[in-house]
Amino acid sequence: MNHADVFDECKRINQLLLSDREKDARDALILLLDKLEDTEIIYPEFLNHSIRQVGLYPYMDTTNLSWQDELLREMVRTEVGEGEDVVFHREQARVLNHLLTGESLAISAPTSFGKSFIIDAYIRLKDPDNVVIIVPTIALTDETRRRLFRKYGQHYKIITGVESEIGEKNIFIFPQERALAYVGVLKQIDLLVIDEFYKASPDFDKERSHPLIRAILLLSRIAKQRYFLAPNISFLADNDLTRGMRLLKIDFNTVFTNVIDHYAGEMSNDEKFEWTLPVISKSTERTLVYAGTYANINVISELCNTWLARRKSVLLEEFTAWLRLTYGDDYQLAELASRGVGVHNGRLHRSLSQLQIRLFEEAQGLNVMVSTSSIIEGVNTSAQNVVIWTNKNGRAKFDNFTYKNIVGRSGRMFRHFIGNVYLLDKMPVDRQTELNLQVDYEDLCNLPGSESTSSLDFIRENEMNAYKEEMAALIGGGGYAKLVEEGQLLHSKAALIRTIASDIRKSPMSWRSLKMLNSDNPNTWDNGLYKALNYCGNIGAKYSDFVEFVKILSLNWKVDMKEIIARLRHIDVGVNEYFELEKSATYNLATSLKTINALVNAIIPQERIDVSGFVSKLSSSFLPNTVFQLEEYGIPRSLSRKIQACGLMDFEQSLDMEGVLNSFRTLDKENLKAQIVGIVPFEAYIIDYFYEGIVKPK
């Protein structure tokens, strides 16, 4: 391609702009830039002008700018921390300007929009005292923490846990459940950020929508400014959560999506893999394979292990050896990893998910990631290629909203101008997505503080008052009010709380079995666990198997993972099933027991049933609390056990996470690696990764 070809293409782009077809013009320009990427052509002034016209200011070549374009570029250049200057594209600059003037925004923007830079720039320019960022997953919590710690760790205390002491200037980052722990503690928020706020609708997330609604309602009371983010929303109905916010729908792409449709009717798994194999065999390209279901992950994994050759990579060999050492020789992921393939889903240990995402970014690491929807909901990663194996999200077919989110993972600004999407199933009809964020009366029933009812309709207000009267009768007026004000009823749905309270009132003596959960002998826990499981919803196993699982789980700190799995074989639980059941135990069961404990102590205090100690142990999978938290920072429990065994730290006595992190900083990573007995090469890699996220930049 020569200058004449570039000029002709720019003329065509200009004609598209004159015809009011900016998106087509931007797509054409991105394709042109992709063609020029491997050439030595210096962008001529007219090309820079075309880039400016479509709003892609960061793509302008500074070696040949007109003074007007250079002035514009300087106007949208912003420091985003750590001395890093970023040139914003047109729509980023527009959003930032709205925020800097004090407006509250609810925006819908594509996945590749670059929303993180806006938050970073806001903190740099406004210097707020308290920023709260609610993210949908633990993985995003650590990813966001690492980014902001690197940039602002010198000036802000970055808080991701529920028991951290607040500093003078703070950035809080956590999922909605943890945010509820700071209700009543935080007095003022300068900026409240809700990432993926569409999850406040039960249409998109039945399980987590109610805690998110409560978090938004409670934290919005003390927030000076709000910034809510979601992708691909066409309409937002009037609602209590975004009232008073400016709504911005932004359709602005920074990469070109090249869709290759291979679907021509029903295809077998082998036929699908014939199309997939050439794509995932390219070790220099990164590919996401959307599997949609756990069953499909297993199918694709078996096909990869059969047809993909092992990669020659020292890093992958070390990762594979560590997986076998930690989880057992028969763990399927170990064989996959040797072929450059990783697995991402919502069940995995948090550290294992993070390490795979890290390896997916490494040149000699994983080049393929097979995933469920967790990769689009819980991680900010993208790839040159996306293969959509199925149109399912779990059991149901996904809608156009989910399809667009998956497609949005293809391509990345400054890395891949073009993202390739390979379709192996029938895709949904392209239609607009309306987001309904209506607040149910149940979401308001157990909120502490005086919730204004000015925006409530008559029916919801009457239902809420009737609920409160019923709860006051079941618990006692003073007891119910105390539980509400202390925030002890925030983590469960109002209907479930009423059911538990009613059952306690009807049969108080039947709850005595809970006391046995305080015993050091797990064999005495059966009756108490069976009682609690009636209020847990879907736990992924028969009650008898789950009770056995919890009892064996109590050995978590005493024996290693391979021993735990060996003891679970009689109930047909392998590594993957272990991940699922541990999540059910530490979240579903622990949350229900926390609510049960509060209600039992309020309704039948004379029985003196207090299982808060057991709930605390269960919530951290019977590991020392700091060991469980360290997994969010990238340190697996197996490595924490080695550190404990060497006497370098005593996690059993360390209750304060900040103190543990400071101890690590004092040790220095090379000193730490040198003292760990039996350390393997990949554990040294893990420690390097961990220290990147906790050592403040100089």
User: Mind listing the pLDDT tens digit for each residue in 357-385?
Assistant: 999 999 999 999 999 887 776 567 778 99
Do both 277 and 411 map to the same domain? yes
Read off the pLDDT of each residue in 282-297 and give the average, rounded to a whole number. 92
Has residue 502 been placed in a domain? Answer: yes
**Token pair belonging to 459:** 């029916």
Read off the pLDDT of each residue in 244-263 and give the average, rounded to a whole number. 93
Do both 395 and 518 map to the same domain? no
Do both 530 and 593 map to the same domain? yes
Confidence band of 456 (pLDDT split at 50, 70, 90) = low
Do both 605 and 629 map to the same domain? no
Return the pLDDT at 696: 74
Return the pLDDT at 458: 66
Considering 619, 643, 664, which residue would you say is the last residue of a domain? 619
Considering 426, 445, 469, which residue would you say is the last residue of a domain? 426
Residue pLDDT, tens place only, 393-412: 888 898 888 899 899 888 87
Read off the pLDDT of each residue in 670-676 and give the average, rounded to a whole number. 95
Residue pLDDT, tens place only, 109-139: 988 788 888 999 999 999 999 999 999 888 8
Return the pLDDT at 372: 87
Torsion angle of the four alpha carbons 398, 144, 579, 312, in this order, in degrees rounded to the nearest 10: 90
Do both 650 and 611 map to the same domain? no
Confidence band of 249 (pLDDT split at 50, 70, 90) = very high
For the cut 60, the answer to whether the pLDDT of residue 453 exceeds it is no
For the cut 70, the answer to whether the pLDDT of residue 634 exceeds it is yes
For the cut 80, the answer to whether the pLDDT of residue 309 exceeds it is yes
Most confident of the following: 38-42, 86-90, 441-445: 86-90
Do both 629 and 610 map to the same domain? no
**Quick check: 170 and 131 in contact, CB under 8 A?**
yes
Report the residue count for the chain.
Answer: 698
66-77 burial, b at 16+ Cβ within 10 Å, e below that, comes to eeebeebbeebe
The whole-angstrom separation of Cα 527 and Cα 517 is: 9
For the cut 50, the answer to whether the pLDDT of residue 454 exceeds it is no
Return the pLDDT at 262: 95
Return the pLDDT at 698: 61
pTM for this model (two decimals): 0.93
Has residue 105 been placed in a domain? Answer: no
184, with CB counted inside 10 A (0-12, 13-18, 19+), is middle
Residue pLDDT, tens place only, 197-238: 999 998 888 878 888 999 999 999 999 999 999 988 988 888
Do both 14 and 58 map to the same domain? yes
Read off the pLDDT of each residue in 644-670 and give the average, rounded to a whole number. 90
The whole-angstrom separation of Cα 299 and Cα 273 is: 10
Low-confidence winner among 15-29, 161-175, 541-555 (lowest mean pLDDT) = 161-175
Confidence band of 432 (pLDDT split at 50, 70, 90) = confident
The whole-angstrom separation of Cα 134 and Cα 228 is: 10
Confidence band of 697 (pLDDT split at 50, 70, 90) = low
Do both 313 and 375 map to the same domain? yes
Do both 409 and 297 map to the same domain? yes
How many domains does the chain divide into?
Answer: 4
The whole-angstrom separation of Cα 300 and Cα 304 is: 6
Residue pLDDT, tens place only, 345-361: 878 888 898 999 999 99
Return the pLDDT at 378: 58
Confidence band of 457 (pLDDT split at 50, 70, 90) = low
For the cut 50, the answer to whether the pLDDT of residue 529 exceeds it is yes
**Quick check: 496 and 504 in contact, CB under 8 A?**
no
Do both 649 and 552 map to the same domain? no
Considering 43, 59, 75, which residue would you say is the last residue of a domain? 75
Do both 610 and 661 map to the same domain? no
Read off the pLDDT of each residue in 150-174 and give the average, rounded to a whole number. 91
Confidence band of 451 (pLDDT split at 50, 70, 90) = low
The whole-angstrom separation of Cα 187 and Cα 199 is: 26
Do both 636 and 515 map to the same domain? no
How many C-beta neighbours within 10 Å does residue 505 have? 14
The whole-angstrom separation of Cα 2 and Cα 590 is: 65
Has residue 464 been placed in a domain? Answer: no
Range of the domain at 14: 3-75
For the cut 50, the answer to whether the pLDDT of residue 452 exceeds it is no
Read off the pLDDT of each residue in 625-649 and give the average, rounded to a whole number. 94
Has residue 65 been placed in a domain? Answer: yes
